[in-house]
Chain A
Amino acid sequence: EVVLTQSPGTLSLYPGERATLSCRASQRVSSVYIAWYQQKPGQAPRLLMYAASTRATGIPDRFSGSGSGTDFTLTISRVEPEDFAVYYCQQYGGSPLTFGGGTKVEIK
């Protein structure tokens, strides 16, 4: 099973600041099999990125993804008020599908 470790657990930022979220895999994962989701309280997750760096439909270009091997990153270039939420990475290179533990982006 591929274990995904996200850091930091919580990221406190002012609106307009840059957010850098990390997702580290316990073994190599092809970048085509990494996705990122955003989840707000009381809502279902929302797909942000797939194949590590491809934005899903309707996702603004302030969100970007990168990485390879075991280290992947989601970057929000300038955090907007609606971006404060929990973010999860996911690998889909094999069974079982696994998610990271999440990074909460909160208002400072």
Chain B
Amino acid sequence: EVQLLESGGGLVQPGGTLTVSCVGSGFTFSNYAMSWVRQAPGKGLEWVSGISGSDGRIYYADSAKGRFTISRDNSKNTLYLEMSNLRAEDTAVYYCAKPRGDRGYQVLTHFQYWGQGTLVTVSS
């Protein structure tokens, strides 16, 4: 059974830095691109960033470029999102998401599996 478990959310001050993590299980982690998708309270879904399984392809939304860094450690089956210079508008639930089985190579794709999310609150 595929499972994605996010952690690391919390309260951070504007301008601060926070790293959220996602541990994947039930599949060969290195074979799959992964993404971060966020959802501000009461709002819709916004894709933030995606990374390929092992060949270094990375994409960012404009809202994340220059402030957020996506990375992964395949030996630990873990996906990361380091967020710096955080703003109030970054307050959201951050989900990690995984493609369907036959779309593992594609970073820019749709998502079959989602974690439960971790809440990041940016406030003084």
Residues of A within 8 A of B (CB): 1, 35, 37, 39, 44-47, 50, 56-57, 88, 90, 92-102
- B62 contacts across to A, CB distance below 8 A: 1, 96
- B82 contacts across to A, CB distance below 8 A: none
Tell me the nearest residue of chain A to B112, going by C-beta: A47
Task: Check A47/B45 contact, CB under 8 A, given A96-B61, A96-B62.
Answer: no
What is the CA–CA distance of A93 and B108 in the complex, to the nearest angstrom?
Answer: 7
Q: Sort chain B's interface into a size bin.
A: 20 to 34
Check if A50 sits within 8 Å of B110, measured CB to CB.
Answer: yes
Check if B44 sits within 8 Å of A99, measured CB to CB.
Answer: yes
Residues of B within 8 A of A (CB): 35, 44-47, 50, 59-62, 95, 100, 106, 108-112, 114-117
Which of A88, A90, A94 gathers most chain B CB within 10 Å? A90
Check if B110 sits within 8 Å of A47, measured CB to CB.
Answer: yes
Check if B95 sits within 8 Å of A95, measured CB to CB.
Answer: no
Check if B100 sits within 8 Å of A50, measured CB to CB.
Answer: yes
Distance to closest chain B CB from A19 (angstroms): 19
What is the CA–CA distance of A88 and B60 in the complex, to the nearest angstrom?
Answer: 20
Which of B35, B61, B110, B111 gathers most chain A CB within 10 Å? B110
